[in-house]
Structure 1
Amino acid sequence: MSSGSAGGTSFEGRGPITYVAGADNTGTVRAVLDRWNRLHPKEKVTFVELPTDPDAQRQQMIQNAATRSDAFTVLSLDVVWNSEFAAHRWVDRLPEDRFPLGDMLKPIVTTGMYRGGLYSVPASSDGGLLYYRTDLLKRAGIARPPVTWAELKADCARVRKLPAARGMACYAGQFHKYEGLTVNFAEAVDSAGGAVTDAQGRPQVNSPEAKAGLDFLVGSLKDGTVPQEAVTYQEEDARRAFQSGKLVFERQWPYMYPLAARKDGSSKVAGRFAVAPLPGLHGPGASSLGGHNLALSASAKNKATALDFIRFYTSQATQRFTLAYAPAAPTYEALYQDPRLVRKYPYLPVLKRSILHAVPRPRVFGYGDVTAAIQREAFAALTGEKSSASALRDLQRDLRRQAAGK
């Protein structure tokens, strides 16, 4: 197989490489690497496991790039890091003709592009879903999951009158001061018809629509719709709260579905929940577009092997295989249309709809500074340190300064 080239890069050299990603809590990475290593004993891949926290992952990858180290070969990038890593030339431009991009959902493919070039290949996508207690909604006489925030609150009020719902909270997402808060904030803003930035990355966050979105989160904490402890929730905290029966509704990624469905006693809601699109202000809301793409470190060795490994890891066959380990959203259209997969993973149709209507987080050069500003101001509003209006005004000012390079 020819090593190929793209953007002046020659993909040469074969031998051992590393794969760099966050903590493998589901066993997915090890299962894929075992398959590769059995087939390629002279080109083995070693897993470099980074912390669970996305901000810590990004920082370690940047440190490796700054020292031009060849310790990291293939990087698993959060989709929002693509522009930053490409702009700094920390990763190589990849040959588009080596990957079946036409078979993938278009919004997912665009996450790997930067200025007309491909810099990372989608390995998995992700869309936010509304998990809800089917048994409790049915007992309360509610025929369908809520489509708007007002319906969510009204439905929860009816559910909480049931003896079976005594002590339960209504709703939670991921509201701790980390990347998950950026996601939840952006979804609230987008679901109210606002935007954090426009298509060119210019800040648009100081708007009535954005305020309506942030007001929903702030107001829900004040009126008890969201429990106060949710300001400490990351993904796993929220998952445990829902699985233990503490929440009627939860905003969460699809990875929770099989965990909550386990009938081994680890989940109190097995067989009693389903998923729906996120609600919004006037109708269905919009998820942030999540997921991870594979990129090739510019300072890596054995790039011919790395390119083949990226093709292997991002292939349709591998994604079909990994669905059994972790239900991250597949990138290939065909996997959402396979009747056998839909029967086995009934969240797939809702997940596809979430992805096709998802809104990317800001695709900006300095994403780290942008998300830090969002987290700081959104958290200040959630905890009552600032009003929604003040937080959004300060955020708009900070984002403008960053966009101007000040």
Structure 2
Amino acid sequence: MSRRGRHGEFGHGEFGHEGYGHGQSGLPVAQRTRARVRTRPAVRTWAVAASAALLATALAGCGGTDSSEPAAGGPGEFTGRGPITLATGKDTTRTLQGQLDRWNKEHPDEKVTMIELPESADQQRQQFIQNAQTKSDAYTVLNLDPIWVAEFAANQWVDELPAKEFPLDRMLPAVVRTGEYFGKQYGIPFNTNAGLLFYRKDLLDKAGVEPPITWAGMKAACTAVAELPEGKGVGCYAGQFDKYEGLTVNFSEAVASAGGTVVGADGKATVDTEEARKGLEFLAQGFKDGTFPKESSTYQEEDGRRAFQSGKLLFHRQWPYQWTLANATDGSSKVAGKFGVAPLPGLDGPGKSSLGGLDLAISKFGKNKATALDFIKFFSNEANARANLKATSAAPPYTALYDDPALREQFPYLATLKESLSGAAPRPAVVRYGDATAAIQESAAAALSGSKSVDAALVEMQRNLSAAIDEK
């Protein structure tokens, strides 16, 4: 029961079991309740540290069209062949160029040039939006955080794609839906993502404790390990707590893991609730009592990865890509072969991950769209997803790969990842996502720093998030 008498029902609406809460239109509820999008000046952009965020907002406002609903009719014609570009976040895995080289060797007259955007997803989104608002043809194929698809489709910055020409029936349904808007496909999954709990198996075994399934169990495990000679100087837990999209992800996971929602089935903000209070209290108390190292308040993905690999963390909330890097035997990781992976812990049992990943889209203003369409078919196919998994441990969108015996032997966490994906909860899918995530980040950061109480932060967040959702 909420503090104001509302039920914080988990498993519905924006934070449903398999992803978006769809009605017959196939559109997330919060999007169906939106009638109009209008041009709006840029809103405040906060500085962010470098990181490989798979998600984000630069908090620049959305330029708009007259209606959030796309025009009637199917996908337009994809004409023109020749060179194209792929705009994507910084390739921290250093594997994308190899994939492009394979395409370029077979298509010498239709070469793809990669445009690497910053590591910070907030800054990525800002550059994507600036490119679209100026109607520039500099970007052809966009590698988008799935949560941006609704915004880009509503503003007619990306083209509707011919869904029947892609093997979407072989992909995880929740992942496919991240590329939908009003029941039409605007993004094709390149990969997907769910948060996992990386833990030092060697230290837990030494302390005689099992991987925790609750927040309380995690703290108890940290206490037990701290008493070991090997546990001296090892921090308990870190996630992505800098004030950027990663904080929206971690806050959303904490709320969902306490049984709450951020946006309810009716498309309304639901953060001024008892469940949300418990989730934010877990995060704020973690810094207050030292469960979370002080320096982790500025962690983005890569900061935490480096800390975990150097042996400074017992537990780390991270995306699957950390598996391969942390197991490197070239001397870059001190924990290779010493860690395991488990589902995220929650208040009373296993927690809920946010749904992440990357979706490929075609810029409305790009040239050579016939080439772009064929390239997306190549870049998103199952063979490439398998290669990505082997090279980077990136989560594939194809269902069958999670049950492949050879892959499970190489990546024993795949069963855990599949379980996390099946229950992953997407962030609020609203057209004005930049304003929505800004409201979440501002208030959550204030609670984590102690400049606002948890209750005051949630009251403020409810007000500002509601304004971002409801403003016409």
TM-score range, shorter chain: over 0.9
1:53 maps to what in 2? Answer: 120
Among 265, 268, 271, the alignment partner of 1:202 is 268
SS of alignment partner, residue 113 of structure 2: strand
| 2:344 matches 1:297 | no
Residue 399 of structure 1: CA displacement? 1.1
1:99 maps to what in 2? Answer: 166
Does the Cα contact within 8 Å between 1:74 and 1:296 map onto a contact in 2?
A: yes
1:28 maps to what in 2? Answer: 95
Among 259, 269, 273, the alignment partner of 2:335 is 269
1:281 maps to what in 2? Answer: 347
Q: How do 1:33-48 and structure 2 match up within 5 A?
A: 33-48=100-115
Letter in 1 for 2:344: L
Q: How do 1:119-130 and structure 2 match up within 5 A?
A: 119-130=186-197
1:70 maps to what in 2? Answer: 137
> Which region of structure 1 is more displaced relative to structure 2, 323-332 or 183-192?
323-332
> Which region of structure 1 is more displaced relative to structure 2, 342-351 or 146-155?
342-351
Residue 372 of structure 1: CA displacement? 1.1
Quote the Cα distance in structure 2 between the aligned partners of 1:26 and 1:251. 19
Give the CA RMSD over aligned residues. Answer: 1.2
SS of alignment partner, residue 314 of structure 2: strand
Among 360, 385, 397, the alignment partner of 2:451 is 385
Provide TM-score, normalisation by structure 1.
Answer: 0.97
> Which region of structure 1 is more displaced relative to structure 2, 353-362 or 258-267?
258-267
Once the two structures are superposed, what CA deviation does each residue of 1:356-393 show, in whole Å capped at 9, x if it has no partner?
11000010001111111111110000000101111011
Does the Cα contact within 8 Å between 2:436 and 2:469 map onto a contact in 1?
A: no
1:310 maps to what in 2? Answer: 376
- Identity value in percent: 58
Residue 202 of structure 1: CA displacement? 1.7
Quote the Cα distance in structure 2 between the aligned partners of 1:27 and 1:169. 29
Among 155, 160, 176, the alignment partner of 1:109 is 176
Quote the Cα distance in structure 2 between the aligned partners of 1:322 and 1:37. 18
Quote the Cα distance in structure 2 between the aligned partners of 1:53 and 1:368. 15
SS of alignment partner, residue 131 of structure 2: helix
Among 299, 317, 321, the alignment partner of 1:251 is 317
Once the two structures are superposed, what CA deviation does each residue of 1:178-213 show, in whole Å capped at 9, x if it has no partner?
111111111001100011112453211110000000
SS of alignment partner, residue 359 of structure 1: coil
1:373 maps to what in 2? Answer: 439
Moved over 4 A (4+): none
1:364 maps to what in 2? Answer: 430
| Number of residue pairs the alignment of both structures matches | 401
Does the Cα contact within 8 Å between 1:15 and 1:43 map onto a contact in 2?
A: yes
Does the Cα contact within 8 Å between 1:201 and 1:363 map onto a contact in 2?
A: no
Residue 264 of structure 1: CA displacement? 2.0
> Which region of structure 1 is more displaced relative to structure 2, 318-327 or 36-45?
318-327
Does the Cα contact within 8 Å between 1:6 and 1:95 map onto a contact in 2?
A: no
| 2:185 matches 1:118 | yes
| 2:396 matches 1:330 | yes
SS of alignment partner, residue 251 of structure 1: strand
Among 205, 213, 219, the alignment partner of 2:285 is 219
- Could you list the runs of 5+ residues in structure 1 that have no partner in the other structure? none
Quote the Cα distance in structure 1 between the aligned partners of 2:167 and 2:266. 28
Among 386, 399, 402, the alignment partner of 2:465 is 399
**Distance change in 2, residues 1:259/1:8 (3 Å):** closer
Does the Cα contact within 8 Å between 1:6 and 1:93 map onto a contact in 2?
A: no
Quote the Cα distance in structure 1 between the aligned partners of 2:131 and 2:355. 26
SS of alignment partner, residue 325 of structure 1: helix
Quote the Cα distance in structure 2 between the aligned partners of 1:81 and 1:18. 19
SS of alignment partner, residue 191 of structure 2: strand
2:326 maps to what in 1? Answer: 260
Letter in 2 for 1:129: L
Provide TM-score, normalisation by structure 2.
Answer: 0.83
Does the Cα contact within 8 Å between 1:148 and 1:279 map onto a contact in 2?
A: yes
Quote the Cα distance in structure 2 between the aligned partners of 1:212 and 1:285. 13
| 2:154 matches 1:87 | yes
SS of alignment partner, residue 37 of structure 1: helix
Bigger share in helix: 1
| 2:242 matches 1:170 | no
Letter in 1 for 2:406: R
| 2:307 matches 1:241 | yes
| 2:208 matches 1:141 | yes
Does the Cα contact within 8 Å between 2:75 and 2:159 map onto a contact in 1?
A: no
> Which region of structure 1 is more displaced relative to structure 2, 342-351 or 119-128?
342-351
